[in-house]
Chain A
Amino acid sequence: MRIPFSALLGLAVMGLMLLSSVLAQWVAPYGLNETVGKVWENPSATFWLGTDQIGRDILSRLLYGGQVTIFVAAASSALAFSMGAFFGFLAAVRGGWVDTTLSRIVDVMMAVPSLIVALVVLSVLPLTLPTLILVMGVLDSTRVFRLSRAVAADIAVMDYVEAAKLRGEGQSWIIFREILPNAMSPLVAEFGMRFIFAVLFISTLSFLGLGIQPPDTDWGGMVRENKEGLIYGKSAAMVPAAAIAVLAIAVNTVADWILSRTSSLKGGRNG
């Protein structure tokens, strides 16, 4: 198996970001909310990426912030994934009114951009980590639902599923033991896309001031904190913005590669 260079680079960047964020407590030179320098200092040997609007080390905050961004994105895409795949499979297996009801609910949720729905819902809910994960996960599960419903509908008519039904296996057996293993490869590529979407989503919410609340921070929140600096010619906001961009592009290259690999697998089987 040959991994293309772009995907390899993407994997390396992703791994590095993941590792340094997980190890933030140990590798960060300063504390998260420790004021250690002057306002908006330029990058130097002491502060590798400079300091922010109240003199905190940007590199340290980037590492701690990455922890929050990656954790929230992973948790909400995991939620979106398990919810979407479960209901999608259920809709495909049960058909009838279960399918119709679930599909219509998803149609309504997808009729409006997720950001607008999220803004409406977040005007009532408390802005805490669990609610953010829940809101993002539920909104995002609609896309997973459509994909897994389509995939499962193809699998549900296979002979081995028919055989399982005839042997008298229950619905959960059919969903978890027959359909899930065979639907795995398109779903894995989708997971990459969901993850990156969640990173963009939480960053955007935090940037709007409706995501992670101080004293905690994430990359979107850091852009928000430092945005005034651009008026005075201080580019501190560009550092977290660049971090989001790099992570987004890295995950995209890897997801692209997985997608092309799974589709070539399918082609190989047919031809």
Chain B
Amino acid sequence: MHPLITLVVQRIALGLILLLAVSVLIFLGVEALPGDTAQAILGQGATPETLANMRESLGLNEPAISRYFTWLGHALTGDFGVALTNKIDIAQAIGQRLGNTLFLAACAGVIAVPFAIGLGLLAARHNGRWPDKLISGVTLAAISLPEFVAAYFVIYLLTQVFPVLQPVSMVFPGMGFLERLHAVALPVIVLVMVVLAHMMRMTRAAILNVMQSPYIETAELKGLSPMQVIWRHALPNAVAPIVSVVVINLAYLVVGVVVVEVVFSYNALGQYLVDHVTKRDLPVVQAVGLIFAAVYIGLNIFADVVGIVANPRLRHPK
């Protein structure tokens, strides 16, 4: 077998094992903590008898290991059970909200990626001079802020100082595409900011790393302009790290959406998760937690695979 395929298969297998381990953490780790689902449903006023009955009816008297495998088996077939608080089917509730979250993340990704690469190239081109310092300074400040603080600065700026947008993002089923875009403008701007800063800094670092190679010096010495050096020689060699950087940062959107959705009261998966953490609705939290973990790990595997495939040294082994 081609060694490249072996590497890719190994990487994917490793990722799947990691995901399995995380699912154990999400299920058994939480089970091991004090307090259980029966207690959570009945609250403080529970008598020992009602507690015992509730545990019996929820199947909580089974050993944790067998409950884990039941849960995992159902989760793999898309059955997450019903929410404790309102008895609504979890998979259905997730299905309704997943689209909204993906729409938000996709908009942010589509805008952030070209911007990040462009700014990264610009900063690398003017390494050490004022455009680089300006871009690096602003992105450093953006990285040091938590997402919700950055969000409120953007809200304040665009609704109070320059009132062009509304501070709440509502999307309804049946809304037109353009209407939807207008409704999510603010959260998208915030998400772009959060992801852009990381992505741009890593792009810049990847290009500067390549710029230290001897063939770049040769290109400079034969008289190519700096932009030509970057475009013809540095960029093709930096594609693999840049693609990895882009995908890793898209995975970072997983955290971003949770906070940003709460900031804008945007009805989607992150808001759903936080709501049910507050309500102590464990099955919902475990289901959504597993989905976020799977997306995050999946994107990370994808980044690694792209890195392996795009690396010419691995593609043509000696």
Question: A residues touching B (Cβ–Cβ < 8 Å)?
Answer: 107-109, 111-113, 115-117, 119-126, 196, 200, 203-204, 207-210, 220, 223, 227, 230-231, 233, 235, 237-238, 241, 244-245, 248-249, 252
The one of B140, B168, B255, B286 that contacts A231, using a Cβ cutoff of 8 Å: B168
Q: Given A119-B289, A120-B285, A238-B152, check contact A248 B277 (CB 8 Å).
A: no
Q: How far is the CB of A95 from chain B (nearest CB, A)?
A: 22
Q: A231 to B167, Cβ gap below 8 A? A: yes
Q: How far is the CB of B153 from chain A (nearest CB, A)?
A: 7
Q: How far is the CB of B83 from chain A (nearest CB, A)?
A: 12
Q: Given A111-B293, A120-B26, A249-B144, check contact A209 B156 (CB 8 Å).
A: no
Q: Is B18 an interface residue (CB 8 A)?
A: yes
Give the CA-CA distance A163 to B289 in the complex, in Å.
49
Give the CA-CA distance A115 to B274 in the complex, in Å.
11
Q: B281 to A123, Cβ gap below 8 A? A: yes
Q: Could you say which residues of chain A place their CB within 8 Å of the CB of B274?
A: 119, 208-210
What 6 A-B pairs are tightest by C-beta distance, nearest first? A200-B146, A123-B285, A120-B289, A123-B277, A108-B21, A248-B144
Interface core residue of B34, B152, B160, B281 (most chain A CB under 10 Å): B152
Give the number of residues in B that approach A within 8 Å (Cβ atoms): 51
Q: Given A123-B277, A124-B280, A124-B282, check contact A204 B147 (CB 8 Å).
A: yes
Q: Could you say which residues of chain B place their CB within 8 Å of the CB of A123?
A: 30, 276-277, 280-282, 285
Q: B156 to A230, Cβ gap below 8 A? A: yes
Give the CA-CA distance A18 to B43 in the complex, in Å.
39
18 A-B pairs, CB-CB below 8 angstroms? A108-B22, A111-B22, A113-B255, A115-B258, A120-B30, A122-B277, A123-B277, A124-B30, A124-B35, A125-B35, A204-B259, A207-B148, A208-B262, A220-B148, A231-B167, A233-B160, A238-B156, A252-B140
Q: Could you say which residues of chain B place their CB within 8 Å of the CB of A235?
A: 156, 160
Mask, B208-244, CB within 8 Å of A = 1, is: 0000000000000000000000000000000000000
Q: Could you say which residues of chain B place their CB within 8 Å of the CB of A107?
A: 18
Nearest CB to that of A208 among chain B residues? B274
Q: B145 to A230, Cβ gap below 8 A? A: no
Mask, B123-156, CB within 8 Å of A = 1, is: 0000000000000000011001111110011011
Q: How far is the CB of B261 from chain A (nearest CB, A)?
A: 10
Q: A245 to B140, Cβ gap below 8 A? A: no
Give the CA-CA distance A126 to B277 in the complex, in Å.
11
Q: How far is the CB of A248 from chain B (nearest CB, A)?
A: 4
Q: B30 to A241, Cβ gap below 8 A? A: no
Q: How far is the CB of A230 from chain B (nearest CB, A)?
A: 5
Give the CA-CA distance A248 to B140 in the complex, in Å.
11
Q: Could you say which residues of chain A place their CB within 8 Å of the CB of B159?
A: 230
Number of A-B contacts (CB under 8 A): 136
Nearest CB to that of A247 among chain B residues? B144
Q: Given A210-B278, A223-B149, check contact A119 B297 (CB 8 Å).
A: no
Q: Could you say which residues of chain B place their CB within 8 Å of the CB of A220?
A: 146, 148
Q: Could you say which residues of chain B place their CB within 8 Å of the CB of A122?
A: 277
Q: A121 to B33, Cβ gap below 8 A? A: yes
Q: Is B8 an interface residue (CB 8 A)?
A: no
Nearest CB to that of B289 among chain A residues? A120
The one of B18, B153, B160 that contacts A108, using a Cβ cutoff of 8 Å: B18
Q: Given A208-B259, A230-B156, check contact A109 B25 (CB 8 Å).
A: yes
Nearest CB to that of A126 among chain B residues? B35
Q: B33 to A124, Cβ gap below 8 A? A: yes
Nearest CB to that of B265 among chain A residues? A227
Q: How far is the CB of B274 from chain A (nearest CB, A)?
A: 5
Q: A117 to B156, Cβ gap below 8 A? A: no
Q: How far is the CB of B152 from chain A (nearest CB, A)?
A: 5
Q: Could you say which residues of chain B place their CB within 8 Å of the CB of A121?
A: 29-30, 33
Give the CA-CA distance A233 to B293 in the complex, in Å.
38
Q: Is B296 an interface residue (CB 8 A)?
A: yes
The one of B18, B149, B277 that contacts A119, using a Cβ cutoff of 8 Å: B277
Give the CA-CA distance A214 to B34 in the complex, in Å.
23
The one of B29, B144, B285 that contacts A196, using a Cβ cutoff of 8 Å: B144
The one of A116, A237, A249 that contacts B254, using a Cβ cutoff of 8 Å: A116
